[in-house]
Every structure is written in C-alpha cells, then in structure tokens.
Amino acid sequence: MNKLIEKFDQSESNYGLKGKFFSNKSLKNISWFKVGGPAECLYIPSDQEDLSRFLKYTDKSEKINVFGRLSNVLIRDKGLTGLTILIPPSISEFNILKNNTIEVGSGMLDKDFSKIALENEIGGMEFLSGIPGNLGGAIAMNAGCYGKEIKDIFVEARVMNRDGKIISLKNDQMQFSYRNSIIRDDQIIIAGVFRGKKKSKKRITEEIKKVEFQKKNTQPSGVATGGSTFKNPKEVKAWELINSVGLSGFQLGGAMISPDHNNFFVNTGNASASDIEDLGNLVIEKVKNKHGVILEWEIRIIGDR
C-alpha cells in the first residue's frame, strides 16, 4: 500500500488528476457518528471523468471502499486499509426527462432530490426528504422509510466498474431486497434515473411536511447518529424489540440507545466506534435470548478494530 501512496502523492502532476489525494486521512469529522480511524489512502475526485481516470491508474487487485456522506456507516477505530473514495457533491447534476422522470448524480443529497422533484411537480420522491445521506448510498442499500423504498421509483443506474468504465443496470438487474441490492464496493454508482407521477406542488409539499413532521417527532435530532441501526425483522419493529429488553436510553461508554427512538444509537460526545459496535452486539444478544430473533445490522460496519 505504501507504493500506492507514493504513486499518487504526486498524482496531479503525473496523471492529470484534478481531485484531492490524502494519506492517513481522518474520517472522524465527516462521519455522522463522529468516530472512527483514518483512511490509509483517500481520493476525492473532482467529477465523474476524474474518478474514471483515477481508477484506470490503480491496481485492480487493490481493495476499495466507496462512500458518500458516511451517514449510515460505522468506521472502526483503527480505520480503513486500501483505497477509499468519497463521492463529492459535485457529482450531482440532474436532468428532467420525459414521463415524470429525473436523472440525477449520485452525490446529491436525498432531501435535495426531493426538492427538485417538488419544483418539477413530480410526486413519489417525498419520502427521500426523511432519509440522510446521498443518492448513491440510497440506491445501493435500497433505502426507504414510511412504507416507500428506492426500488419503487428506480428505473436504472449508471455504474462505474473497477476499470473506470460505465455500465447501466435496470431495476430488475439490481436485485433489490430489504435494505440491499447487487451493488458492491467494486461498483460505483454515478447516477440514477427515477420515475414518479405528476402531482401538484401543493400535494407534494404536504407529503414532505408529513415526512419531516414524523421524523422530527420520532427520531433524535441535533446529535451524532448513524440513522437506523438494525433492519426491521418481519412483523415487528427493531425498536420494539430493543425496548422490550429494557435497553431504551442504555449507555455503554460514550454510546447510547436513543430514548426518542430505540433503533437509533447516539454518540454522546466521547464514544469510540467500539463503544457503538459493542452496544449493538449487546442488543443483538439480549433480543436473541428473549425473543429468539437475531437482529441484523442496517448500519454498514467497516474497518479494523
């Protein structure tokens, strides 16, 4: 890996790259949890073409980690080995197409996309106003809330492979399931195409307000959290199971289960990534012992402890 660092330390002059390259770069301050170790090699491309050029110069056997806003991710305390790529906000161009369809870059925030749909009187995207992070991550995990999921509005994605080339994946090729899809780290979502229905700005605004009201009144705000911690098992909510084992408000180190919504973990100010992961494992154990249900992490946990 040191050779890769040396190779790209002077990448702008040697390879004509316009992005930013860092070695041993802390991701703690941009992580929504405000925890985690450094990225051994980090590249933030300037745009799609720059990302493609960068990938063509990397060793294809090198492990890569791809993130957007690090909203639903827990990076462990020793950080990330290999190559880490952050998709920048600059990859967020959009085009309004025919039949209430929008093509949008993966770097755009979910809530900003819902506003674009509003301005163009395209309904169906309102639920995205309640989801943190950017569209690339939302597509990859089939994000959803309040009964709606990405797969319900998704048409196709433009995906960059490890060679820097673009392929298209249709809805039926994505293998969408609950909080999952076919996308893995060697596939980087560049843009998505979504289709909604014609709807008045008034009705869309009303729907967005409902989503925002429900989020404000049921989820913690103004704190360091990674969003929903566990996937909901069939026929029961994860928060209900957590509450049933008496862990609402429980704290381990600097990590706490939010009393506002038991499926949200909060960094109270001095948590380590291990605190959060250990708290989650404690929840899994207690829920399994009482109910025989094994909770599955929704938050993506990555890196070395």
236 vs 255: CA distance, rounded Å: 24
Catalytic, out of 179, 195, 258, 277: 179
| Catalytic annotation present for 71 | no
Can you spell out the DSSP letters for 235-255?
A: TS-HHHHHHHTT-TT-EETTE
* Residue 20 CB-density burial (10 A; 0-12 exposed, 13-18 middle, 19+ buried): middle
Q: Is 23 a catalytic residue?
A: no
Catalytic residue (choose from 126, 156, 207, 298): 298
Longest CA span, the chain: 60
Contacts of 76 (CB under 8 A, 6+ apart): 36, 37, 273, 274, 277, 301, 302, 303, 304, 305
- Cα angle value 283/286/291 (rounded, 5°): 115
Of 129, 181, 228, 272, the catalytic one is 228
Q: Is 248 a catalytic residue?
A: no
Record the tokens describing residue 279, joined without a space: 């708290």
Write out the catalytic residue numbers: 179, 228, 298
